[in-house]
C-alpha cells in the first residue's frame, strides 16, 4: 500500500484551513490507491489580468497535491517533507469552471519523492503538467 495514512477528504480539507489552499478554493476530491486529486475554481481568485488561469495558481495546486500526497506516504511521527523543486508546463488556457489536478508517484525513495501532477479542465483537456521533487526529512 502506498499510503501510510489515509485521512478522509474532510480531514485533508481541515488540515488546510486558513492557508492559501482555502483562500483559492481548492477542494480535495479523491484519494485513490496511488493518486490524490483536488479541484480549483477558475475565478477572480485564480485568474491573471487577461482572464485566464494564473500559472502560479496552477503551480500552487500542483505543489499542494504533491506535498500532501508525499506526506501521506510517511510516518508523520518520525518524518515530514518539504518541496525541493517544482516545474510546470502550461499547455492550455482555462477561463471558466474548474481545473482538477491529480498527483501520481514517479519515485518514492527514502530521502526523496518525485510526483507528477496532471491538471485538466472540465472537458478533460490538459491545462498544465507539473513535476515536484520532495525532500523527506526526519523529525
**What are the chain's domains?**
9-138 (3.10.129.10)
Q: Using CA atoms, how far apart are residues 98 and 52, in angstroms rounded to an integer?
A: 12
Residue 7 has pLDDT above 80, yes or no: yes
Q: Using CA atoms, how far apart are residues 14 and 28, in angstroms rounded to an integer?
A: 10
At 1, the pLDDT band (50, 70, 90 cuts) reads confident
pTM of the model: 0.96
At 54, the pLDDT band (50, 70, 90 cuts) reads very high
pLDDT in tens, 22-47: 999 999 999 999 999 999 999 999 99
Annotated catalytic residues are 63
User: What is the reported pLDDT for 63?
Assistant: 98
Amino acid at each position: 500500500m502506498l499510503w501510510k495514512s489515509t485521512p478522509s477528504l474532510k480531514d485533508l480539507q481541515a488540515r488546510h484551513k486558513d492557508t492559501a489552499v482555502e483562500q483559492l478554493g481548492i477542494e480535495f476530491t479523491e484519494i485513490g490507491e496511488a493518486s490524490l486529486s483536488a479541484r480549483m475554481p477558475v475565478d477572480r481568485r485564480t485568474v491573471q489580468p487577461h482572464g485566464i488561469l494564473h500559472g502560479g495558481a496552477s503551480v500552487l495546486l500542483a505543489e499542494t497535491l504533491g506535498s500532501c500526497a508525499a506526506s501521506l506516504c510517511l510516518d508523520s511521527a518520525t518524518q515530514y517533507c518539504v518541496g525541493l523543486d517544482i516545474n510546470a508546463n502550461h499547455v492550455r488556457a482555462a477561463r471558466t469552471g474548474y481545473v482538477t489536478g491529480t498527483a501520481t508517484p514517479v519515485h518514492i525513495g527514502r530521502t526523496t519523492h518525485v510526483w507528477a501532477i496532471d491538471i485538466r479542465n472540465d472537458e478533460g483537456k490538459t491545462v498544465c503538467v507539473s513535476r515536484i521533487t520532495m525532500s523527506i526529512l526526519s523529525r
